[in-house]
Structure 1
Amino acid sequence: MDDRNPAVAGSWRLALIDPSSQEHAPTREQLETLGALAGRVVETQVWTSPEPDRLALVDLAVVDLTQPHEAPIEVLLDTVTVAPHLPVLVIVLRTDPDLASRCLVAGAHAVVRTSAGDPNYPSTLLSAVQDLLRVSRPVPGGRRATTGALARANPEVFGTLVHRYAQEVQARVDLRRGAATEGMKGPRRDGLAAISAVLVELEAGPRDLTDVHIVALRSLCRDTSATAQRQLVHDARLALVETMGRLAGRYRSKALYSRRESGEADDGALA
């Protein structure tokens, strides 16, 4: 990874990751025409999956999830995991808001929603690319900078949550290996529930959960073998999905309670 600053460079180096195994000529052309709008040369490479060595040489990864794919979130998680220093932009269909939300929780820095014939798509895409290349900077050591408010405003609390989250992931790895049955601590039943409760209490958002997940995963993967890293990534994904569900459930319950107390709607209407 070099110290090149794409925000002021004369060219942008983009990686278009298209897991559908189809040539997305329109998407590639749209990315390259951004150069004319922004006064830059745009170099775009198209891959079907993230490649760590090649991702180290680009400024931005664009993951195109507009075509059907059996595991779109896994493609995004793979991209975030192998290149945590890199800003990631995801393109999804406007008709799939659930996928857009899951992408934000799974590590996307920004999501652009599009539909067939959307006249605002080029300008929206350009704005998102410019924002990411200007704001989301690589940091020393190749670690992706945290972007949520929690890490900036409460670094001590953030560090504690990362430690607790990492413990839960490691406990799941140990349990899978059978180590927990030999006297080592297994995962607590309420461990992730407690973490999600703290996040809600702090009014943390999806980006904060993603920051906790990524920093914990990077810490766990340090000085481990490739096989162990694959296991860690797998169990961290399970922990992320579980925590994401718990976080969403708590926020929904909180919203329902607040609306009921204010008399905005009854339980039947809210349900």
Structure 2
Amino acid sequence: MVAVEQLGFEFAVEPRRLTKVSPARLATFADCPRRYRLSYLDRPTPQRSGPWAHSTLGAVVHNALRALFELPPERRTPVRAAQLVSEHWQDAGFADAEQAAVYRDRAKTWVMEYVEHNDVSSTPVGLERWVSAPVNPEPGQPPSMIIEGRADRIDERDAELVIVDYKTGRRAPDEYEARSSQALAMYAVAAARTLRRPCHRVELHHLPTGTVAAAEHTPDTLRRHLTRAEETAEDLRVATDTLTAGGDREVLFPVNPGVRCSWCDFRPSCAEGQQAAPPAKSWELLAP
């Protein structure tokens, strides 16, 4: 009788389980493992802080621009862009109604100038598009993880995809930031696999200053980002599996206290974070 092993079957070997990772999950785990556990593993979800004005502002601008690109090209005007800001506006996290009104007007100006100074006539191939792909940093090897996430915008230019990410923060980005962004690189790889078109260019569009920071990735630069992501994903997988098996959550997901604890969403549920830094006001991170 011929043994099944001789036929090339290895039924005793379980296939490797692929870990699903997103840029947000990887960044959270790398920044503070405890915050990762509080965000994604602990149920019910522990107490969080209230809304942040800068997050509200960013969400409003993102939603307004998404709605703008959903319109026919001839209706994508500066005036309509400003109207969409008003339609999507929220006051959550601002100091008071007066401050909220100031930033609502600023956001209107930002999107109006964005439409005036950028070509918005082409319809994107993706708006808030979810992309996902099994990957391995080493070419020709079986997948080692599944990368996934939601890209703000995916354009098509000269038969190639371009990843566009909107920013409304305090500081204008530069080419280095675009090139070093693990999130943009992961979106580029996942978009290329999902939409079956090459994708090398990534862009950060900073609305407050009108800055467009762009970078052109190569297979090597994308591979380096994927290698980093794989290393973090493996640490995350081991910690999660060990926790499920009864491991010590404080050892597996240690706190990483620092100045960032001032504005951590889970500050109310983290005594070490409260001791590490004073609480930030909910509007302190707004762009000046």
Query: Shorter-normalised TM-score: what interval?
Result: under 0.3
When you count helix as a share of all residues, which structure comes out higher? 1
TM-score by length of 2: 0.25
The structure where strand makes up a greater share of residues is 2
Specify which structure has the bigger relative contact order, considering alpha-carbon pairs within 8 angstroms and separated by 6 or more residues.
2
Larger CA Rg, structure 1 vs 2: 2
